[in-house]
Structure 1
């Protein structure tokens, strides 16, 4: 679909670019809380594969050109200029991350209106903009159509197990997609995701003919006080007392988790000061909606001279949604998944001198002119049961689908 036609059709359903409309509230994940109702968009840059070039370098250059130099993340942040930019929302898709890693980008994006990279620079408004006006039309969400059947999903799990048996990989994260038609304004539905319990990276980002809503609990990379942090999540059980005990006792879940912690340690070691990477917390059980999930914290001191572009190349796409070894896992993903990951399994958050906070876009949905899209999956190891994996993916996406429907 051509961009012009896509934009026109989305206008019929509701606002197109929330950030650029008068009276819009900026709700990007990880935006500073005190700035949320006082920001206006100043500039944006979107990248799609047809544009060519290096998108990570493009992001860094664009930010520098608009008063946000991020070429040396170890350098102390300059004093804030009230007339200057506050920061920027940054989105990097899983496909763009795979490109940065030198791996196949996977199947085609099911929502082609979405860019693969978007960066939006914001400044403070004076006076703050008034509250937004919403489209009064009703909201309708149709039935979900899955991109693969449960049998096909289970077969993909078996194919990964075969690859593990051959020694090709140790773990692969397998992700499915579903889409549903809608009528009305999709933005309030997407904004509801940010209210889900445990949505550390709750928020929205929009553009011409597209919008993303996020309820992610997972930190891809955070930079504060000169230290890089990542918090990989691996291991899921129902949020019951029995589920808590089962997750802590599961040798399979712990082995899957430790593999990804090791991968994240290696990723951070590429951009951290030598010898500074450490595991601060291992296999802590935390809640997201009605699920327990295991999370670890890995950190390292940022290396002198590290720029944002090299940081993105090191951490994208996130290890917990690829597998190990990362490049071999991405090869398996490219071979097995019939639909691209779109807005799922990428990065979304806030960047500014002295502060970076990017969430991994799990528990994430996207809207184009006609449909809402969701993604969900899980890490596959030798001990994985195919039908347990199918059930786990359904459990992860159920709260997202319910919130989108308004339930």
Structure 2
């Protein structure tokens, strides 16, 4: 069940270290906070879980911002021990394996962006906690800020892959499966758009129709990610590692009886269960590289979870991390997530560049917050929009797992279902 943490309240509290300031709460607190962050900082991350009941929890409700990012040439970033916010592009795979990304990019996006917060905001039920060297100044600035009330213009999207091309590509992928190159491959198609479009206003629209447990915004100068993701990539809590791959999607019913039928249909689908199981096995293998012997377990297999427009099949895999491993070893053992590649992973990544006609960039990568003690929580960047405000260009992508017995037209329809919320906020 979804319940926004931005419920109407008479007041909220802004806590500065040990002092508390009581101020009148604006009617639309998220809009003010998001626009204020965008106005004041070239780098920020905003995360929210939207009140979902999700195994192992959701994204925390928080924001972090900075005026600068970390220069990767001057620091071995993934070994640093400090609070960090960051995004890792799908194309970071080329650092993990001997691979390349050969397709053209819709917009130019950094391979990774990390920053140390100069301001952190914890969002509680009825107060905000501002933390940072200039927290009191930021509070005053926030109180004075008046958010824009303008509406976002509608834009037209362009499909980068036609139905005919999609069907042919799926048949070619299935030929590779018959030849034994792989078992399944996550094939994605892209959509592009242009226009004088405001990503911050669009995120508010997206959360009205498709709130998700791993939602958020990541800004890097003129580049924005708007995420309405249902999927966790990887979470670390002390020595516990948790992966939760999604494979298996079906639309929601129009009434409860039909909705229950759709859930049963997804749960009992041999095809969807086979897809899910393959990625679970892949994640078990990835975690085994960094985990104590015998500690990798499947906590839940084929769990069915409901979201605003779809039911999803989600499994949970956990393990106990070996001692002495840094973030770099963890990421390099598990990235990118198997649900966005297929199995076996390396061969699938090679073929993805052959079959897809756009560079994924941040799409199907991950973003999140890394705590100084080593804990972190990362989502999978799906159901997400990428936009360059300076170039007035953006794109998004959707995909599905192609198996030996996949029906190309059914897979295409599934992709359009996954794209429906984003198309609605773009085109109306």
TM bracket, shorter-chain basis: 0.7 to 0.9
SS in 2 for 1:122: coil
Question: CA 1:226–1:42 in 2, change beyond 3 Å: closer, same or farther?
Answer: farther
- Measure, in 1, the Cα distance between the counterparts of 2:225 and 2:407: 32
SS in 1 for 2:358: coil
Name the structure 1 match of 2:300: 281
Instruction: After TM superposition, give the deviation of residue 215 of structure 1 in Å.
Output: 0.7
Higher RCO (C-alpha 8 Å, min separation 6): 1
5 Å matches for 1:159-308? 159-194=172-207, 196-197=209-210, 199-240=212-253, 241=259, 242-308=261-327
Name the structure 1 match of 2:97: 101
Gaps in structure 1 of 5+ consecutive residues: 1-15, 69-86
- Measure, in 2, the Cα distance between the counterparts of 1:280 and 1:312: 22
- Measure, in 1, the Cα distance between the counterparts of 2:102 and 2:146: 39
TM-score, normalised to structure 2, is 0.77
Q: Deviations over 1:260-312 (max 9, x none)?
A: 00000011111111211100000001122211110000011111111111111
Gaps in structure 2 of 5+ consecutive residues: 1-33, 50-58, 119-130, 254-258
5 Å matches for 1:79-98? 87-98=83-94
Question: CA 1:281–1:388 in 2, change beyond 3 Å: closer, same or farther?
Answer: same
- Measure, in 2, the Cα distance between the counterparts of 1:98 and 1:248: 35
Name the structure 1 match of 2:402: 380
SS in 1 for 2:360: coil
- Mapped contact 1:236–1:293 kept (Cα < 8 A): yes
Name the structure 2 match of 1:71: none
Question: CA 1:192–1:203 in 2, change beyond 3 Å: closer, same or farther?
Answer: farther
- Measure, in 2, the Cα distance between the counterparts of 1:208 and 1:22: 11
- Mapped contact 1:191–1:204 kept (Cα < 8 A): no
Name the structure 2 match of 1:309: 328
Question: CA 1:179–1:397 in 2, change beyond 3 Å: closer, same or farther?
Answer: same
1:363 is the counterpart of 2:383: yes
Q: Deviations over 1:42-84 (max 9, x none)?
A: 641366xxx7x9xxx84225x44xxx0xxxxxxxxxxxxxxxx
- Measure, in 2, the Cα distance between the counterparts of 1:148 and 1:197: 24
Instruction: After TM superposition, give the deviation of residue 92 of structure 1 in Å.
Output: 0.6
Of 33, 41, 45, the match for 2:70: 45
- Measure, in 2, the Cα distance between the counterparts of 1:394 and 1:151: 15
When the two structures are aligned, how many residues end up with a matched partner?
359
TM-score, normalised to structure 1, is 0.81
Q: What is the CA RMSD across the aligned residues, in angstroms?
A: 2.6
Range with bigger deviation, 171-180 or 131-140: 131-140
SS in 2 for 1:357: strand
5 Å matches for 1:112-131? 112=108, 114-123=109-118, 124-125=131-132, 126-127=135-136, 128-129=138-139, 130=142
- Measure, in 2, the Cα distance between the counterparts of 1:24 and 1:104: 29
Range with bigger deviation, 285-294 or 188-197: 188-197
SS in 2 for 1:183: coil
- Mapped contact 2:247–2:313 kept (Cα < 8 A): yes
